[in-house]
Amino acid sequence: MNRRAFLRAGGVAIALPFLEGLPSRSAWAADNAPVFSLYIVAACGVVGKKFFPDQTGPLTTAGLGAMTDKATHVLAPHAANLLFIRGINFPMNGPTNCGHAQGLCQALTARPAQGGGKTASATGVSADVVIAELVNEGGAEPLTLYAGNRRNGYIAERISFKAGGAGQVRSADDNPYALYAKLVGLADSGGGSGNGAQLAEELLRSRKSANDFVKEELNSLMRMSALSSADKQRLQQHFDSIRDTEVTMGEMGTTCSQAGLATSELEALKSGFAFKMDGMIEDVAKLHLELVAMAFACNFNRVATLQHGDGTDGTKYAVPSNAGLGWPFHHISHRVQSDAATGNNPTAEQAHAEIDVVRMQTLLHGLDHFKARDLFDKSILMWTNHVSDGPSHSFRNVPTIIAGNGGGYLKQGQYIDAGNVTNNRLFNGLIAAAVRDKTEWTENFGEGQGSGPIDGMLA
């Protein structure tokens, strides 16, 4: 038995304190808390002048909440846990084919895209896959989720890639019930970091202590002649403190349980999933976000992605300025009723700004669930877009929002200017935060100008 060892029984593993009477092991990694990562890529750009605050600087609930002309004002309740970043560019200077598809392929790979439209592909692995290989038990693949019309016949999932080249895009789940079933034990998990949800529910139902599951092993350990009286006292104090924590906090049951899930909506998807273009996309995205928060709280998987919208999104949002137009979002983003041409219709621009608010309300829903499950200090939630602006399809100054400090690694409560850098530097910082309990990230992810993390993004 190693000096820093575990008692295991009934699916429970309890770390032991350091005991002088047990032989030491050659190496032991510090017990750093895991960091969980969710990457969201939305569609069709934003109305830049109506999205972020006009000036960089501190973010406060009162200050951000007062900026009612900015879409991000709805995130004000979580201002202290947010990092807004401007001045981030994708590797390509601009589209050479369909900007939507090429933007999707660059958003998480930080590499130029190849091809375009329905055949567009990445030229390298995406950050979620890199992180999952380093932190998930057995290298389990990240959760890959989709909110939109995945069967649109043109551009569907295009953000998570196993490698560069054709055929390397990872398939996404569009029906939230698929992940829900895995989390509540109704289907095989297919991987992940553990069975935390079921264990938590079992402990709650039985009102047993984790110590009860290893009682036999504990008694055997206490009888070992190699242990001094001081060791035995230390061991008893350790297990007493475990029980005290369980009794006084009950935190596991709160964070790793079905509490807070929209279970009726999820159960309604069990028999099938018929996606509608009437704004259902936001309901689906909210369900995905609820489930990712639960998956992280239960340590089911440490990495996830969510593509929020199709490449050329056809959702007809019921925002006030679209009442007279009745246009799908892709046309609104072009400011003209066309998939190819661009215009300058001011009503369409206002409708786009209103849609940005709707999408930020969906993000707020996810942030509320992350907070309820106590994840802000142990997670990274990144929101970005596949282009910065609808009419231009620009890959420059792509808006980026980060929630959570990644275990104290990332700056919070600030709006910063990255200084016109490529997004490889963004991911250098995010990957380093996500994997540091397992390893040190020293590589330069993707392709771009410069290396290391963005100046100013670290705590």
Tell me whether residue 263 is in a domain: no
Whole-number Å distance between alpha carbons of 296 and 305 = 12
| Total domains in the fold of the chain | 2
If asked whether residues 27 and 38 sit together in one domain, one would say: no
Looking at the structure, tell me whether residues 356 and 419 fall in a common domain: yes
Residue 180 within any structural domain of the chain: yes
Residue 12 in this model has a pLDDT that exceeds 70:
no
Which DSSP helix (H) or strand (E) runs through 307? strand 303-308
pLDDT at residue 192 tops 70: no
Same domain? 285 vs 418: yes
pTM over 0.85: no
**Is the same domain home to 250 and 319?**
no
217 and 252 fall within a common domain: yes
Whether residues 97 and 152 fall in one domain:
yes
In a domain, 281, yes or no: yes
Is position 446 within any domain? no
Residues 340, 390 within the same domain: yes
Domain identity same for 227 and 98: no
For every residue of 34-88, DSSP letters joined together read P-EEEEEEESS---GGGTS-SS-EE--HHHHHT-TTSGGGGGGGGGGGEEEEEEE
Count of beta carbons in the 10 Å neighbourhood of residue 278: 10
Chain segment 270-296, per-residue pLDDT in tens: 998 999 999 999 999 999 999 999 999
* Long-range interactions of 232-238: CB distance < 8 A, separation 24+: 234/17, 234/19, 235/16, 235/17, 235/19, 238/16, 238/17
Structural domain contains residue 445:
no
- 45 lies in the same domain as 27: no
Residue 190 domain-assigned (yes or no): no
Structural domain contains residue 178 = yes
226-255 pLDDT, tens digit each:
778 877 787 777 667 665 555 543 444 568
Lowest-confidence region among 256-265, 347-356, 363-372: 256-265
Verify that 341 and 216 share a domain, yes or no: no
Please indicate, yes or no, whether residues 215 and 334 belong to a single structural domain of this protein: no
User: What is the distance between the terminal CA atoms of the chain, rounded to a whole angstrom?
Assistant: 39
Structure confidence by residue, pLDDT tens digits, 404-438: 999 999 999 999 999 999 999 999 999 999 999 99
Same domain? 278 vs 418: yes
The CATH number given to whatever domain includes residue 393 is 3.40.720
Domain that holds residue 21: 1-31+196-257
Domain annotation covers residue 375: yes
Q: What pLDDT was estimated at residue 404? A: 99
